[in-house]
Each structure stands twice: as C-alpha cells, then as structure tokens.
Amino acid sequence: MKKEKIDRINHLARKSKQEGLTEAEKEEQAVLRKEYIENFREQFKGHLKRVKFVEDLSEEELVKIQKENEEIRRANEKAQRESEHLEQSSEQLEEKAEKIYDKNRQN
C-alpha cells in the first residue's frame, strides 16, 4: 500500500477522534481500511508460506540453510567493511578537496 494512502488513513483516524468525519469521509475511511487489511493479509500469507519448521527439515536441508545463513552473514560483514572503507575514502577526498580549494583561494 502506498504511503499516501497510509497517511490518509492516519489523517482520517486523527480527524475522527478530534472533530468527527463527514459521511463521505467515513465511507473513504472504510474503503481504505478494507484495502489496508486485505493488503496486510496477503503479505502475512506470503510470510507464512515461507516459514519452515526446523523439526520438519531433513539434516541436509538444515545444513544447507545454515550454510546459506553463514554466507549471508559473511556478505553482510564484507559490505559493512566496504561501506566503512568508502566512508573513509570519501572523508579523505573531502580533505584533499578542501586543501586544493584553500590553495587555489590563496593564489
């Protein structure tokens, strides 16, 4: 569901508590809530379909999942290190650019 619709749901909820809604706004609120709930249910069903119980897995499947999780962990660590390296490089470039700028200003 788009952010604008969620914002509208929240706006109507606040307005309902503060001053009340017109009949048209009540109808709009009901439609938006229905859409939100349907969307939530579909997403939840999708999550449930992907759930696997460890007790139901074979030893091979469990080992495979553990290896995949370890690969993901390593990839995340590598990405974190690269991000930190890029941040340091960016800071160094900014410092060099400032020095060059200052030098050019003096000339």
Alpha-carbon distance values, 62 to 54, 59, 72, 82 (Å): 7, 5, 15, 30
How many residues does the structure list for the chain? 107
* Alpha-carbon gap, residue 16 to 32, rounded angstroms: 14
Task: Tokens for 57, please give them.
Answer: 């897995």
- State pLDDT tens for residues 12-37: 999 999 999 999 999 999 999 999 99
* Alpha-carbon gap, residue 50 to 43, rounded angstroms: 11
Q: What is the pLDDT of residue 55?
A: 81
Residue 107 has pLDDT above 80, yes or no: no
**Amino acid in the structure at residue 5:** K
Nearest 10 degrees: CA dihedral of 60, 63, 68, 73? Answer: 180
- State pLDDT tens for residues 71-91: 999 999 999 999 999 999 998
* Alpha-carbon gap, residue 91 to 87, rounded angstroms: 6
